[in-house]
Chains A and B, each alone.
Chain A
Amino acid sequence: MPKITYIDLDGASHVCEVANGLSVMEGAVANGVPGILAICGGSCACSTCHAYVDEAWTAEVGAANEIEDATLDLANDRKAQSRLTCQIVVKPAFEGLVIHVAKND
């Protein structure tokens, strides 16, 4: 299981083992990472699991698809590294992935 580091809005790091096949959002929720709310449950409908992929990882993680891209329009403080974490599926290559939680409300 890849270890993913979630950095919350207070700057605290949460290093979590997340099973392959789960979403990065589910990994955050299962480990109680603050700030990843995911109120639609991962249906790409709400933007409350918004986070920034660490710059060292953007190429590996890839870009949002069209639906996610549109949904991200609702997110606060969208940046180039913005993703909805419910749409990122964890795979072995994500060992060491770093995710910065965005301001979700």
Chain B
Amino acid sequence: MTRCVIVGAGQAGLQIAETLRRGGFEGELLLLGDESSLPYQRPPLSKKYLLNEVEAARLLFRPAEHFAKLKVEVRLDTQVARIERATRELVLADGSHLTYDRLALTTGARVRQLSVPGAADSRVCYLRGLADAERIRVQLAAARRVAIIGGGFIGLEVAAIARQLGKEVTVIEAQSRVLQRVVAPAISSFFHTLHTGYGVRILLEQQVNHLERAAECSTVVTDDGTRVAVDLIVVGIGVVPNVELADAAGLICEAGIVVDEFACTSDPVIVAAGDCTRHRNLLYALPQRLESVQNAVDQAKVAVGTLLGAPVAYAQVPWFWSDQYEVKLQIAGIATGYDDLVLRGVPADGSFSAFYFAGERVIAVDSINRPAEHMAARKLIAAGGRCTKAQVADLATDLKSIL
């Protein structure tokens, strides 16, 4: 390999560039990003950044000189129009060509757009990138009332910030509970109580029917006729993986760029990593698509092993986190397919963990303000999750002792 091009300058793209250099790759290395900023951290965008606690410069992973030192050529504001696999070339939106002999796709995901009448309203914001967060920050400062469409992580994190800034907040969720896609009912219930305790109004099982715009405010109208008049609407209804480039080039895509446990696509000279992939993880029977820092970083390292000809299969326990008010939720593992939930500690105390069992094995653990248990859970799951429900429920049992 003499020239590697990375398409996508997010967490995964940056990790591939750095790990390639650390792994001894001395050839040409290009990192292409379609945003205007050098690679930056996304998690704070829905947290500290919106609270005005950090400025944009502090979100950068690395200063510009770092890339020069690493001999990584970073091209920002760069759109790739297509991949010509036969000649191993990228065609950029400006018509220029770039050759590669290895290609890494870290194209990430984009927000799912609200598709109801009236959704094209300047009071409607989405949150994915720095520019989105900046727009929300400005509009939030001027708003008195805020509607959040979608009670997932992004929606609830923004709701928490908006409440901390003293705004009147209404969360509108289509499902029967918040965070339904990611956690068990007991955890949803904890977060529901947390938010309502802080004064957030949560509307469940409410589909947004349309938005109405007037000079002084916009109104969210749900299917049952409920009307929520606000100054700002933040939509957090999930993301769509950016597969178009790969798909148009004939790479196999199934709601994500399909990669094997070595982060390799259906073209052996092209790897992919991060939110854009549907990937194999040796810990799981089924392929997965995850939206997380952990997956971006760990899968990027796997991709580098493949690029350097020293493949190592992906077999990491996924983990996630969310910060809302004084609560830190940490999730270890994937709960899909669980058949029993065992609580350790009491939700009313504001600190507990929920263990998801499939048969006699722990497959995932949600920890609320219990970082030590989260860490123990990651190790426990990596080791196969063998423990009893009694051990987990008994606070006198040291989790580390059952590893």
Contacts and interface: CB of A to CB of B under 8 A. Distances in A.
Contact of B43 (A29, A41, A66): A41
Contact of A70 (B59, B61, B319, B371): B371
B328 interface: yes
A40 B378 contact: no
Interface string A46-83: 10000000000000000000110111011000000000
Contacts of B328: 67
* Size bracket, chain A contacts: 20 to 34
Interface centre among B44, B69, B371, B375 (most CB of A within 10 A): B371
Contacts, number: 55
B63 A30 contact: yes
A1 interface: no
* Size bracket, chain B contacts: 20 to 34
Nearest to A72: B375
B88 interface: no
B290 interface: no
A30 B59 CA distance: 10
Contacts of B63: 29-32
Contacts of B58: 22, 26
Given A40-B43, A43-B321, A74-B375, A32 B62 contact: yes
Interface in B56-77: 58-59, 61-63, 65-66, 69
Contact of A67 (B61, B371, B376): B371
Interface of B: 11, 15, 41, 43-44, 47, 58-59, 61-63, 65-66, 69, 293-294, 297, 319, 321, 323, 328, 330, 371-372, 374-376, 378
Would you list the 3 A-B pairs with minimal beta carbon distance, nearest first? A41-B41, A70-B371, A70-B372
21 contacts: A26-B58, A29-B61, A32-B62, A32-B66, A32-B69, A39-B11, A39-B15, A41-B59, A42-B44, A45-B319, A45-B321, A45-B330, A66-B371, A66-B372, A67-B328, A69-B372, A70-B375, A71-B371, A71-B375, A73-B375, A74-B375
